[in-house]
Structure 1
């Protein structure tokens, strides 16, 4: 996804509904990892495919194009995202649901491919791999679970969010003191492998760094407004939010150099996993 939260929980309990229009400002860049993940899925003609955390349907659209004969559906916890997805792909079934408890409506029909783009980073750390395992356990042998997550917890774009939130004596300090997102860096390759290998015959893991050329530092802020910045600004009042974003922008200007043409390069690491059920 693009980045879409599909679970409400400890890590993001203050979030409001997601803004699909904000998310889609960088649709081309957010959809590229979808295609990169899809290219590694060893399923030539699946019958049943589910897009977990489908967002506004940009990832689902790629799946429909790849497998036009499959029964493809999407689910997400955001009403705004589901509304946009249904408008985009009216012939595809989209369902509002909580990733933590969601199950396919027809449990007798095994899901051949579970696909997830930029979702599981929003799940509290200790729940991520057990939740992924729960979905894999639903699949028949040969079923594929494929997911991608941003791996930018330590990148300046995200470190500056935490630093800004931790500033003392700011208008937002009191509001965020007890409400900072309880998110952690995604699990290591070893942890992923050890958790999934009892269930899977093959596990393909890789890491890609994308370098997005953006117009300026303000564009970096616009990018993260649609995803990573939301847990910090959603709990704030309008005035607090404005001050927070301005302070964050000043930090961003210090850590991302301006290129000779005035543009700014945003490094964006992503982690990919394709697991095949035993």
Structure 2
């Protein structure tokens, strides 16, 4: 089993606009949170990353107490540069936590997760504990990539398993069945007594620049490979050159950029009151 990938907040944020849009679409479908006089909403952002979407929660709930959770020291360092807006009265803090083992030790009105759970094998098994940590009428909401059969990922998996890379990378190019389909998430969450809204969307993202799909995956799917080859720059550069050539053929540039379809899966589960 290989170690967790190293994360690069600057690389991840190079495509912040495209990466933020699914979170905004998720946020728009979250129902009103439980309220009580004098008690601001309590929110956990599980897998907060660099904190760039965490702060968007204050647009909806300006007086909330929001805690961002992540297991990457690099991401948490970047996240701590963010603060809650001064005029809303909210609180923002960040803490280390591994979603694979996180069991809430307090009660929340909202647990939200953006593009994290695909990295957590067996994450649906944690749903009962997370739903149990919600106040009555609280919400668990998440979105995950659903593009693991797209060329960007299948080419990566095939290349890692090619004879000249297999010994070093055969376990780094794919994550078998990392996410469920929307219907399966709906069934899991409904069985926990929640009212569930589940759907999927394919965004046709127009990327620009040199080798833009490679630049995109450098921030996410390619992290395990870059981590595995970090001590061998020659091998890393050779792998990237080979992968880039294959991506150019799979995603040829057009007159306005390179169209990069990206499927996302969403679920919003409201706990019974």
Both structures adopt the same fold (TM-score exceeding 0.5): yes
Q: Which residue of 2 aligns with 1:5?
A: none
Give how far 1:200 is off: 2.9
Instruction: Give the Cα separation in 2 of the matches to 1:177 and 1:260.
Output: 36
Aligned partner (choices 13, 22, 47) of residue 33 of structure 1: 22
Give how far 1:191 is off: 2.1
Aligned partner (choices 112, 119, 122) of residue 122 of structure 1: 119
Q: Which residue of 1 aligns with 2:246?
A: 251
Structure 1 unaligned blocks of 5 or more: 1-9
1:38-80 Cα distance to aligned partner (Å, 9 max, x none): 0000025661111000011111111022211111111000111
Instruction: Give the Cα separation in 1 of the matches to 2:220 and 2:115.
Output: 10
Contact 1:118–1:149 under 8 Å retained in 2: yes
Instruction: Give the Cα separation in 1 of the matches to 2:143 and 2:173.
Output: 24
SS at match of 2:49: coil
Aligned partner (choices 49, 61, 80) of residue 43 of structure 2: 49
Please say which of residues 151-160 and 85-94 is displaced more in the overlay. Answer: 85-94
1:133-181 Cα distance to aligned partner (Å, 9 max, x none): 321122232110000001010111111111111111x2x3311135554
Structure 2 unaligned blocks of 5 or more: 36-40, 85-90
Q: Which residue of 1 aligns with 2:186?
A: 193
Q: Which residue of 1 aligns with 2:156?
A: 161
SS at match of 1:98: coil
Taking a change above 3 Å as real, the CA distance of residues 36 and 182 of structure 1, as seen in their structure-2 partners, is: closer
Contact 1:86–1:92 under 8 Å retained in 2: no
1:184-221 Cα distance to aligned partner (Å, 9 max, x none): 24212332222221213311011111111111461110
Count of aligned residue pairs for this structure pair = 259
Output the aligned Cα RMSD: 1.9
Aligned partner (choices 6, 11, 17) of residue 17 of structure 1: 6
Aligned partner (choices 60, 65, 88) of residue 59 of structure 2: 65
